[in-house]
Amino acid sequence: MVRQKKVSVIIPTYNLKEDLLDCIGSIYKQDYKSIEVIVVDNVSTDGTSEAVEKRFPKVKLVRNKKNLGVTGAVNRGLKYAKGRYLLLVDHDNILESNMLSELVRTIESDSKIGITVGKIYFDEDHTIIWAAGTGINLFTGQIYFRAGKDVGQFDKVEEVQVAPANFLLRRELVTNDGVYDPTYVINYEDTDLSFRIRSQGYRVVYTPKAISYHRIPMSSEGAGKRLLSRAYWIGRNRVIFMKRWGNFYPFVTFFLPLLSVYYLYLALRYNQLGNFIKYCKGIYDGVIFSERNKKIPSI
C-alpha cells in the first residue's frame, strides 16, 4: 500500500460559525485520510473558535488578535502546516468525500502542476456550476467564471488561468512570507497567486471530478449585495492587480468609469450608496498604490 503524503488543510474564517462547522465536517469525511486541519479565526464574535474546539478537538485552531483578512490568515496558518501539499479552503464550502483524493491524483500526475482546482457548484443547486476555474480579462481586470448549468461542458482536465476558493498547492511554492501577497487582504488574492505560480513555469490545472459546493447566493439580489459588501476591496485590488499583470494598464483607467456605473446601479437598487462610495475610495487607493511603499489598510 502506497503511503499517502500529508495534506495540510487551511481555512481562514470570520463570523460564519455554522458554515465553517459543516465545512470542517466534510473535510474529515474525505477518503484521503492523511490530513491535518488548521483553522485561522480572524477575531470572530459569533463563538466560532469555541464551537470548533468543542466539536473538532483535533483541529489546530489559530486565533488572530486582529482581522488579517484572507491573505494574512492563510499566511499565518501556513506557519503551523506540516503537509507535503496544502489545501486552501474557503469557510463557506462543502467538499465531496473524494475531492481531495482527486486533486492529489492530478497534482501528482505532473511535477509542473503547481495548483489544481476542482468543480465548484452552488450549494443551493447542485446542477449549477459556480466556477470550474476562472479567468480574467487582462485589459479590464474583469473576472469571468466558467460557470452555468452543468451539461458536461467542463468535464475534462485542462489548464485554467485562475484557481478560486478551494485548491491544492505544492508546498515548495510557498515562500518564507507565505503563499498570498498580503497587499490584497481579500479579493484578487487567488488571481494574483495563480499568475505568480504560472510565471514560475508551473501549470494551474482544473480537475472536474474534484467537487465542492459554495454557499453563496444564487439570486441576482443576493449576488449584487455580496458584491457591494466587498466593493472597496474589489475596486482597489482590481487596479493593483492590473498594474502588475495587465496587458495595458492605461486602458484600465479608461474602463473604470464604466464599471463604476454598474456599481452605482447596484448601490441605488439596493439602497447601499455608502458601499458605492467605498468602491470609489478603493479605486482611488488602488491608483495611488505604490510597490515601493506598500500600505495595507485595515479590514
β-pair type (128-131, 113-122): antiparallel
Average pLDDT over residues 95-112: 98
Q: How far apart are the first and last CA of the chain?
A: 47
Residue-wise pLDDT tens digits, 188-237? 999 999 999 999 999 999 999 999 999 999 999 999 999 999 999 999 99
Specify the DSSP element, H or E, that contains 175.
none
pTM of the model: 0.95
Q: Domain 7-214's class? A: alpha beta
Which residue type occupies 294? K
Where do the structural domains in the chain lie, given as residue ranges? 7-214, 220-288
For 168, other C-beta atoms within 10 Å of its C-beta total 28
Residue 295: its pLDDT value, please? 79
Residue 236: its pLDDT value, please? 96
Residue 252 DSSP SS3: helix
pLDDT over 70 at 2, yes or no:
no
Give the Cα-Cα-Cα angle 104, 109, 113 (nearest 5 degrees).
80
The cell 474534484 sits on which residue? 210
Residue 238: its pLDDT value, please? 95
Q: Do 132 and 212 contact (CB within 8 A), yes or no?
A: no
